[in-house]
Amino acid sequence: MVRFMHFTARRNTLPLYSGRGRKRKYGDLVRPLPRTHNGKTLAATAPDERMAWQEKGREVRAEIWRGLILNKIVPDKENQTFDVYAIYDPKFATPWLLATPIKLDAATVKAIYTDRWPVEQIPLAAKQMVGAHRQFVHADESIQRLPELALLAGSILSFLAATVPAVPTGFWDRKPKRTPGRLRRTLIGKPFPKDYQFPRQLRKKNSATAHLPKGYAAWRIKTTLSTPTDSYIAT
């Protein structure tokens, strides 16, 4: 999904040589949406296709550009191309710009990306809000258990954020929304609840210690390592 309104791409074919000057290295520039630069308006590139359909009593239209590549890629038949869809919905003031390598109908592309939001909500809350994206594990059991705990925490955080009244972050926040990030910031400033008494040891860790010295041998190694050598003793 393209999030920037000034997004540009290029054609995967070189323009015809005019016979003068240096030959072009990149394809023609494609600008799906107009933008203003230094007081001048840069016009949008004419779309390759236009489509319109009815959705819940309103007309939604789309402008499509086919077979595009990124700006710094030299045109080649082996390149992976993508299509760009500019979807105009009367419910929103600005168009929705989508880029995808899948060639589908514009209405289908919009429906697919709309269905992605509820699917990505729980991993987003777990990774970015709870901090699961910073955790690294290597054991087979931990590799399986960490995503499970992350999804569980993301589900709980999303459910609580949707049901608990939204708390403003400051006087400037006049219309707070019920989001996991806002709830997390609210919980950070609260003390940990002490209503439930946790056991002193949650789970015994079965660590391998058979190879380590024990008793007097372990104490002797500890005192030997902690005793300074002759070179550090002041004369």
Could you write out the three-class secondary structure of the chain? CCCCCCCCEEECCCCCCCCCCCCCCCCCEECCCCEEECCEEECCCCCCEEEEEEECCEEEEEEEEEEEECCCCCCCCCCCCEEEEEEECCCCCCCEEEEECCCCCHHHHHHHHHHHHHHHHHHHHHHHHCCHHHCCCCCHHHHHHHHHHHHHHHHHHHHHHHHCCCCCCCCCCCCCCCCHHHHHHHHHCCCCCCCCCCCCCCCCCCCCCCCCCCCHHHHHHHHHHHCCCHHHCCC
Report pLDDT digits (tens) over 98-128: 888 988 888 888 888 777 777 778 888 888 7
Question: Is residue 60 in some structural domain?
Answer: yes
Q: Which of 75, 95, 92, 80 is nearest to 32 (CA)?
A: 95
**Residue with the two structure tokens 């990774």:** 127
Q: What is the pLDDT of residue 174?
A: 85
**Single pTM value for the model:** 0.57
> Is 95 in the same domain as 146?
no
CB 90 within 8 Å of CB 56:
no
> Is 92 in the same domain as 157?
no
Question: Is residue 71 in some structural domain?
Answer: yes
Q: What is the pLDDT of residue 222?
A: 61
CB 91 within 8 Å of CB 64:
no
> Is 145 in the same domain as 95?
no
Q: What is the pLDDT of residue 56?
A: 85
Question: Is residue 233 in some structural domain?
Answer: no
Q: What is the pLDDT of residue 4?
A: 60
Question: Is residue 20 in some structural domain?
Answer: yes
> In which domain, by residue range, is 43 found?
9-103
Question: Is residue 158 in some structural domain?
Answer: yes
Question: pLDDT under 50 in the chain at which residues?
Answer: 1-3, 229-235
Question: Is residue 86 in some structural domain?
Answer: yes
- Of 50, 72, 103, the one marking the end of a domain is 103
Question: Is residue 138 in some structural domain?
Answer: yes
> Is 97 in the same domain as 21?
yes
Q: What is the pLDDT of residue 1?
A: 46
> Is 99 in the same domain as 130?
no
Structural domains in the chain (count): 2
Question: Is residue 229 in some structural domain?
Answer: no
